[in-house]
Structure 1
Amino acid sequence: MLYGIAAATASFLLAAVLAALLRAPALRLGLVDRRRRRPVPLLGGVAVVLVTGLVAWAGDRSGVVPLGPVAVRLLAAASAVAVLGLAADVWRLRRRWLLAGTAVAAACVVPYGETGPVAGAVAVGWVALVAAAFRGLDHADGVAGTVGVVTAFGIGACAAAGLMDGPAVLLLVLAAALAGFLLHNWHPARIALGACGSLFMGFLLAGAAVSVRAGYETGGGVGVLCALTAVPVTDAVLVLLSRRLAGRPLARGGPDHLAHRLRRLGLTAQGAVVVLGGAALCAVLVGVLVHTGRVGGPAVLWVAGGSAAGMLGLLRVRVYGPPRLRRGAVAGAGRAGVIFPVRQTTSAENVQVRAPLRVRNG
């Protein structure tokens, strides 16, 4: 107990300090996320990876809380994925290489003896896709870190309930490191996770969830896993479905994620983070309660229904398309009732009308 508190405190402080120190080198080297309205450094994930590995290794080497083989394999594979993500931040690797490398790492940590070969193969694909989904969340200030903290605490609670001390401590350290990183990632963000940190976080969370649920009934296990990662999975499915319906390439980025659509509905950047964090908390809580047997398995259907309803509702929010002309009456158009086309701008253009439009009747 005392070590858990000390480890969490050390992770929080070290991640906050290291993220602040890495900001200037990232700007100097040009390692920035240019998809946002302003360049944001991408080395925040390096801070999270280093602090998580260092604190967990210190606890294992000191013998206070041995990680055990499961947590050691998870940490080693997640570190390899983090290196791959860092290469993507530096050299802009294609998504297919990231997905393939993450799947190879996942194949090294899935417990096939408890899941079986078929379910184990499905788990490999699921871990890789969830890691990619967490990377997709790192497009807006504070979203990925907030959802990651909530998910880490939830899966850590499931591990503790199953007496898996190693994974539980590892996830506690990860949650504390993400909380320290969030001090610099809250809007307006001064540093971002990048592919390095987001893939590391997503892989570690998904791999730990699979290890915790290994040996349980397959149908119930799938429901719990989806509840624990409901927000990133919903975001990924929403993006893919939206791009498919719009006829856009699936790999082509755009302002079509959950946070983007919530902003289009009028929420502030901080408000969108709070909404998504609250949704993640509710879904993760259901997953933890089902895993520990406090509620029945059908409770995960409420999470699935809520995710589907939210997805269908947000799918109606317009996020694509060039500026279009809409026809509308303009004040002072004259007795002839002439209708002038007025150019309607989108938020992506970041245009503000600062003076009323005056039309002189000639």
Structure 2
Amino acid sequence: MTWRDPLVALLVGFAVAAALTPLVGRLARAVGAVDRPRGRGVAAGGTPLLGGLAIAAGVAIGMLVALPDASRISEAQIDNLHALLLGGLVITVVGALDDRFDLHPLAKLAGQVLAAAIPVSQGVEVGNITLPFLGALDFHGFGAPLTVLGFVAVMNVVNLSDGIDGLAAGVCAIAALALGFVAWDLASGQHASILAGAVCGAAVGFLVHNFNPASIFMGDTGAMLLGYLLAGVAVEGSVKTNAVLALVVPMMVLAVPFLDTTFVVLKRLKAGQPIYTADQNHFHHRLTRIGFSQRRVVLYLYAWAGSLAMVAVALKYVPYNDDRDHYDPLWTSVVGVVVLAVLAFSAYLVVLLEIVKLRRLDARRLRRASPGLSDREIDEDVRRALETGEIDAITDDHPTVGR
């Protein structure tokens, strides 16, 4: 197997998804699968859904083209990939039905569990992990149910984060690319790099039509499929190994949607709301409310996801230590600088964009309404907004801010 196999899967996946997406949009309109305004998104409604069908086709055809020429892939690994594709077909059907008929959350959850159970039953399973400083942790008989739970979690994380043009497709493409690089460096996971290439290519091909202003949405069809496939790549490409970084890498690569979902779910639990209820508290909602355009919000979140993915790849490829845990001073310093830079950028997004700019813009709005307000009163208003998540659209009178 050579690097050309994942590249072929990527290019074919891109071409197929880019070509089929407009046709899928017409199909969605014909069957009535169009977006309606919901609490989770920022779109006005009326845009066709089912874009995930084009992504599914891109991944499937990319795999069909690349796999026959791939050498040094065992029969068991090919069977695992086939099981992943079969489960992908199931979740695609579930997502398409949900996009058209709005399935009950429990019915959708049942479909997710069924899709995840297919590859897990064929051996796509995590039986143990290696934790830093703690060593190996064996799951014994709980490996299969925990792996199914992991698949379902990633599906829902991606689905919940899909609320603005191009966000889910771009972040998932970045994640697939990073996971593909990591998988390629592992002899036991190189077959997963082909799937990662197909996922990355199909996501970018769909993004051609989904970047703001989007002409089509992936819907639950695409969001759940991408989450499912990324989970499959992570399990086959890194998590099943005995390396210490096996679990760290996918967690870093998917950190942005995981942090976003965790933040939103905690706020819903605090408010006593069902966790599946849509709201306006995702990162992209909050950044949009403080004045950024949709494109700028998405590009910032791409940069955040990309920087975290870069750290994950660097931890795998940079020779900062050997197998005996001896650390090279130079390369360890390089990794440290990269990690610090990414932490600084993360702090910039979370603190400066979310709080500092909010205070500046809120002060302008409040002082226009009440010129005598003190700095303390303005700080109190910002504190209340951040705690409750009820941030007003404070740039209505300043449409050029953040554009």
- Band of TM-score, shorter chain: 0.7 to 0.9
Q: 2:204 aligns with which of 179, 184, 187?
A: 179
Q: What is the CA distance between 1:208 and its match in structure 2?
A: 1.4
Say yes or no: does 1:148 pair with 2:172.
yes
Say yes or no: does 1:77 pair with 2:87.
yes
Closer, same or farther: CA 22–221 of 1 in aligned 2, 3 Å? same
Say yes or no: does 1:102 pair with 2:112.
yes
Output the CA distance in 2 between the equivalents of 1:306 and 1:245: 28
Runs of 5+ consecutive residues of structure 2 not aligned to the other structure: 38-42, 129-138, 326-334, 359-365, 372-389
* Contact 1:11/1:180 (8 A) holds in 2: yes
* Contact 1:230/1:307 (8 A) holds in 2: no
* TM-score computed with the length of structure 2 as normaliser: 0.72
Output the CA distance in 1 between the equivalents of 2:35 and 2:84: 28
Runs of 5+ consecutive residues of structure 1 not aligned to the other structure: 319-325, 332-343, 355-362
Q: 1:249 aligns with which of 257, 274, 292?
A: 274
Output the CA distance in 1 between the equivalents of 2:288 and 2:148: 34
Output the CA distance in 1 between the equivalents of 2:196 and 2:28: 27
Output the CA distance in 2 between the equivalents of 1:13 and 1:211: 25
Matched to 2:33, the amino acid is: L
Closer, same or farther: CA 73–347 of 1 in aligned 2, 3 Å? same
Closer, same or farther: CA 237–219 of 1 in aligned 2, 3 Å? farther
In the TM superposition, what whole-angstrom CA distance separates every residue of 1:49-106 from its partner, at most 9, and x where no partner exists? Answer: 012112212333x444667223222222122111111111122112333233323332
* Contact 2:125/2:235 (8 A) holds in 1: no
* Count of residues in Structure 1 that have an aligned counterpart in Structure 2: 333
Q: What is the CA distance between 1:144 and its match in structure 2?
A: 0.4
Matched to 1:267, the amino acid is: F
Matched to 1:266, the amino acid is: G
The CA RMSD measured in Å over matched residues stands at 3.5
Q: 1:231 aligns with which of 256, 261, 264?
A: 256
Q: What is the CA distance between 1:145 and its match in structure 2?
A: 0.7
Matched to 1:200, the amino acid is: L
Say yes or no: does 1:158 pair with 2:182.
yes
Q: What is the CA distance between 1:257 and its match in structure 2?
A: 1.1
* TM-score computed with the length of structure 1 as normaliser: 0.79
Say yes or no: does 1:89 pair with 2:99.
yes
What corresponds to 1:20 in structure 2?
22
Say yes or no: does 1:222 pair with 2:224.
no
Output the CA distance in 2 between the equivalents of 1:220 and 1:282: 17
Q: What is the CA distance between 1:307 and its match in structure 2?
A: 6.6
What corresponds to 2:159 in structure 1?
135
Q: 1:54 aligns with which of 33, 41, 61?
A: 61
- Between stretches 183-192 and 279-288, larger displacement belongs to 279-288
What corresponds to 1:37 in structure 2?
44
Closer, same or farther: CA 245–131 of 1 in aligned 2, 3 Å? same
Closer, same or farther: CA 293–196 of 1 in aligned 2, 3 Å? same
Output the CA distance in 1 between the equivalents of 2:350 and 2:398: 32
In the TM superposition, what whole-angstrom CA distance separates every residue of 1:310-355 from its partner, at most 9, and x where no partner exists? Answer: 668888799xxxxxxx998679xxxxxxxxxxxx99549x97799x
Output the CA distance in 2 between the equivalents of 1:64 and 1:196: 29
Output the CA distance in 2 between the equivalents of 1:219 and 1:155: 16
* Contact 2:179/2:196 (8 A) holds in 1: yes
Closer, same or farther: CA 134–55 of 1 in aligned 2, 3 Å? same
Q: What is the CA distance between 1:27 and its match in structure 2?
A: 1.9
What corresponds to 2:283 in structure 1?
258
Matched to 2:23, the amino acid is: L
What corresponds to 1:357 in structure 2?
none
Q: What is the CA distance between 1:113 and its match in structure 2?
A: 7.0
Q: What is the CA distance between 1:39 and its match in structure 2?
A: 1.7
> Identity percentage over the alignment?
26
Output the CA distance in 1 between the equivalents of 2:59 and 2:368: 57
Output the CA distance in 2 between the equivalents of 1:71 and 1:59: 12
Output the CA distance in 2 between the equivalents of 1:27 and 1:135: 21
In the TM superposition, what whole-angstrom CA distance separates every residue of 1:223-260 from its partner, at most 9, and x where no partner exists? Answer: 22311210111111011122233443322211211111
* Contact 2:15/2:58 (8 A) holds in 1: no
Matched to 1:32, the amino acid is: V
Output the CA distance in 2 between the equivalents of 1:107 and 1:309: 40
* Contact 2:180/2:237 (8 A) holds in 1: no
